[in-house]
A and B are shown apart, each in its own frame.
Chain A
Amino acid sequence: MALRVDDISYEYEKGTAMSVHALAHVSVNIPDGQFIGLVGHTGSGKSTFVQMLNGLLKPSEGHIYWNDQDIHADGFDRKKLRADVGLVFQYPEHQLFEQDVISDVMFGPRNLGFSEEECRKRAEKALRSSGLSEEFWKQSPFDLSGGQQRRAAIAGVLAMQPKVLILDEPTAGLDPRGRDEILDMVRGMKQQLHMTILLVSHSMDDVAEYADRIIVMNDAKILMDGSPKEVFARYKELEAVGLSAPQMVYIMQYLRECGLPVRTDILTVDEAAEEILRHRGELHVQ
């Protein structure tokens, strides 16, 4: 069930003087089961890119294949595609509308034409995966806290039981606790439900901790595509386009420049502490 993006381009206001390339010749392969971080600053084309993947936007050039079928070919069922490739927009709580949480989560399955019973089953399963406890299911979504609303909204996409889940900055506006909870929930979904995850983020620190592959977009193109360590080793290039590597990379780099021969391809605090202690003999702690 792989997604394949083959040389797509997209222009806003095509044919006018104001025409802007939002995507220029982008090719990506998204096989099953990966946790991919998609990073880039505002206007780099990443939001446009993810809206291509479930057919909300149509590329001006190039093709997108889902299971080797062109999603814009005649007769291709794009409604089904939107169930298979779930997209959680930025601030998804702004799309809640039903009287109670569970009805809102059932909206997606209902649109797909499932029986009432099946819709409810899917909604309950999705709500459980999203970690929203049962006491809230019958409440109005508008009485929940911001973080809970976001979980409910993500459950609304999960209930369609997608194979690929795309989240566009799911931690925007949340505090550190809400951010950690949402990211842990996403990781849990990948492990338990075996979904492919595409996480769009500004934060290198978040992506470093969770993703096993990072795609960096800049100026409508893909700038880098590789493992977190490969990508962050090129931190100078990241800085040149206004991004930065995780904090830990800079700390280890500095210690190395101070004469401590530590590895610099380290992303977590634990790893860093261990690496420094490995060189304990060379330290002069008062």
Chain B
Amino acid sequence: MFNEITLGQYYQTDSVIHRLDPRVKLIATLAYIISLFIVNGWAGYVLAALYLVIVISLSRVPFHYIVRGMKAVMFILLITILFNLFLTPGTPVWTLGPLTLTREGIVFAVKMAVRLTFLIFGSSLMTLTTTPNELTDAMESVMGPLKVLHVPVHEISMMMSIALRFIPILMEETDKIMKAQIARGADFESRNLMKKIHSLVPLLVPLFISAFRRANDLAMAMEARCYRGGEGRTKMKPLAYRGADAAAYVFLALYFASCIVLRILGM
């Protein structure tokens, strides 16, 4: 049931985007997310879409693979849309009991949906084309200055990369435990919310126990392989900028500048 979640899973292939320095991808992703909140007009959204189209086609990750990843966050997307639809004050268009649909609400909800979709596409593109280890390196490098403030930069990035590695394993495990409980007559399809929450106990307890056991095992395995934090560690794949990375930064700068210009022009 969960095997289809591809959100954030590294997609192995060889492309320009895959070969880019992970710092470029990290900074570009942050810049892209900010740009989505800078642009406010339809022209801006078209530009943001164009950016996505270019990057996706360069990445050689099949479009349907990325779309499948969206399924996992559909629920959050729908909730956001509903909230915005009905809770935005403005000119009423349609009323149903206490709920009022407003013109402003519709516009806002559509914009929000577009933004969120682009945001998910943009950020999953980073994890689809960057291995967690590269991502860890990039985060460590980009956040490096924070070490002065005693932020445990290495530890944070290591934790993130391990979490990413274990997501598919825990998904598979969830599926297995769910099936085992269904075989004991459990019902996960109840419509009643209270019942639904209650029915999750037989799923969540084993899952937590398993996660703790795995964490314990993993900690021991890391120690056995001489892991002792970031101090004195060398890199198998040290980061080094190349020509393509410079080009990517130029492309990014152009895109970002255009977003700002469109915003000023009110498009």
- Chain A residues engaging chain B, CB cutoff 8 angstroms: 51, 54, 56, 79, 82-83, 86-87, 89, 92, 94-97, 107-108, 111-112, 142, 156-157, 160
Q: Does B19 sit at the interface, judged by CB under 8 A?
A: no
Is there an interface contact between A89 and B206, defined as CB atoms closer than 8 Å? no
Contact partner, A89, options B183, B186, B201, Cβ 8 Å: B183
A97 touches B184 (CB 8 A): no
| Cα(A208)–Cα(B29), bound, Å | 59
Would you call B179 an interface residue if the criterion is a C-beta within 8 Å of the partner chain's C-beta atoms?
yes
In order of increasing CB-CB distance, the 4 nearest A-B pairs are A111-B185, A97-B205, A108-B184, A95-B180
Q: Which secondary structure dominates where chain B touches chain A?
A: helix
Residues of A within 8 A of B182 (CB): 56, 82
Given A94-B206, A97-B205, A142-B209, A107 and B183 touching (CB < 8 A)?
no
How far is A234 from B109 in the complex, measured between Cα atoms in Å?
68
Inter-chain CA distance A54–B183, complex, in Å, is 8
Proximity string of chain B (165-191) to chain A, C-beta cutoff 8 Å, 1 when within and 0 when not? 000000001001101111111110000
* 9 A-B contacts (beta carbon < 8 Å): A56-B183, A79-B187, A82-B183, A82-B185, A89-B183, A92-B180, A97-B205, A107-B186, A142-B209
Number of interface residues of B (CB under 8 A): 18
In the assembled complex, the CB of A144 is this many whole angstroms from the nearest CB of chain B, namely: 13
Would A112 and B185 be within 8 Å (CB), given that A94-B177, A97-B202 are in contact?
Answer: yes
Nearest chain A CB to B232 CB, angstrom units: 37
In the bound assembly, the distance between CA atoms of A97 and B181 in angstroms comes to 10
B130 to chain A, nearest CB (A): 23
| Residues of A contacting B177 in the complex (Cβ-Cβ under 8 angstroms) | 94-95
B176 surroundings in chain A (CB, below 8 A): 89, 94
Bound CA span A92–B182, Å: 13
The reply to whether A160 and B210 form a contact with Cβ atoms under 8 Å apart is: no
CA distance A94 to B211 in the complex (A): 11
Min Cβ gap B116→A in Å is: 27
Give chain B's interface residues, CB within 8 Å of chain A.
Answer: 173, 176-177, 179-187, 201-202, 205-206, 209-210
Chain A residues with CB under 8 Å of B202's CB are 95, 97, 107
B183 touches A79 (CB 8 A): no
Could you tell me if B179 and A89 are in contact, using CB atoms closer than 8 angstroms?
yes
Which of B173, B184, B186, B201 makes the CB contact (< 8 A) with A157? B184
- Given contacts A95-B202, A157-B184, list 18 more A-B pairs with CB under 8 A: A54-B183, A56-B179, A82-B182, A83-B185, A87-B183, A94-B176, A94-B206, A94-B209, A95-B180, A95-B184, A107-B184, A107-B185, A107-B186, A107-B202, A108-B184, A111-B185, A156-B184, A160-B184
Q: Give every chain B residue within 8 A of A79 (Cβ-Cβ).
A: 185, 187
The chain A residue with its CB closest to the CB of B179 is A56
Residue among A94, A112, A156, A157 with the most chain B CB within 10 A? A94
* A160 and B181 contact, CB distance less than 8 A: no
Residues in chain A near residue B187, CB distance under 8 A: 79, 111
The docked-state distance in angstroms from the alpha carbon of A54 to that of B181 is: 13
Return chain B residues, CB-CB under 8 Å to A89: 176, 179-180, 183
Cβ-defined partner of A94 (8 Å) among B183, B201, B210: B210
Q: Which residue of chain B has the shortest Cβ distance to A90 in the bound complex?
A: B176
CB-CB nearest in chain B for A95: B180
Cβ–Cβ contact B185 & A108, under 8 A: yes
**A95–B181 CA distance with the chains assembled, in angstroms:** 7
In the complex, what residues of A have CB within 8 A of residue B185's CB?
A: 79, 82-83, 107-108, 111-112, 160
Q: How far is the CB of A178 from chain B (nearest CB, A)?
A: 19
Instruction: Compute how far the CA of A101 lies from the CA of B186 in the bound complex, rounded to whole angstroms.
Output: 17
How far apart are the CA atoms of A51 and B179 in the complex, in Å? 9
Which interface residue of A54, A111, A156, A157 has the most chain B CB atoms within 10 A? Answer: A111
- Look across to chain B and name the residue whose beta carbon is closest to the beta carbon of A107: B184
Inter-chain contacts of A107 with B (CB < 8 A): 181, 184-186, 202
